[in-house]
Amino acid sequence: MDGKIGKYVFLVGAIVAVLTGLIGEAFSFDVTTVGIVLVIAGIIVGLLNVSGKEATTFLISAITLLVIGGEVKNSIKELPWVGTYLEAMLIYLVIFVAPAAIVVALKEVYSLAQD
């Protein structure tokens, strides 16, 4: 059951991140609550979804997303019409993935310390 919950939380979190990026930029409303929900969802995903041999692949993917989020976001917003929306979506995806990456990394460090 945990696997299904984690998969659904991941799917919902990714959809919420993308939609919040689109809607938040289009209507300029405060999205603090959504950010908190994304952080909590990221923690749940990190706890329930990623384990064992998936951890390395997940962490590499998360690092890639976080680096892109930090380095490319200023360039993305310069794109006409869609730049601000792409930047906002990327920011919310980073808000969602970063807590999951922290949890998975801590689980891996703990696992290595056990051995």
Answer yes or no: is pLDDT of 93 > 80. yes
Q: For residue 96, how many C-alpha atoms fall within 13 Å in the half-sphere facing its CB? A: 25
pLDDT at 100: 93
Asked whether the beta carbons of 38 and 15 are under 8 A apart, the reply is no
Q: What percent of the chain has pLDDT over 90?
A: 23
CB atoms within 10 A of CB 57: 10
Kindly state the percentage of the chain with pLDDT values over 70.
89
Q: How many domains does the chain have?
A: 1
**CA 107 to CA 58: how far, in whole Å?**
12
Interval 13-56: pLDDT, tens: 999 998 988 887 667 666 788 889 999 999 999 998 887 788 88
Structure tokens at 106: 């801590």
Q: Report in angstroms the alpha-carbon separations of 91 from 7, 54, 112.
A: 21, 24, 31
Q: Which domain holds residue 81?
A: 2-114
The backbone torsions φ and ψ at residue 107, rounded to the nearest 5 degrees and listed phi first, read -65, -40
Average pLDDT score over the chain: 83
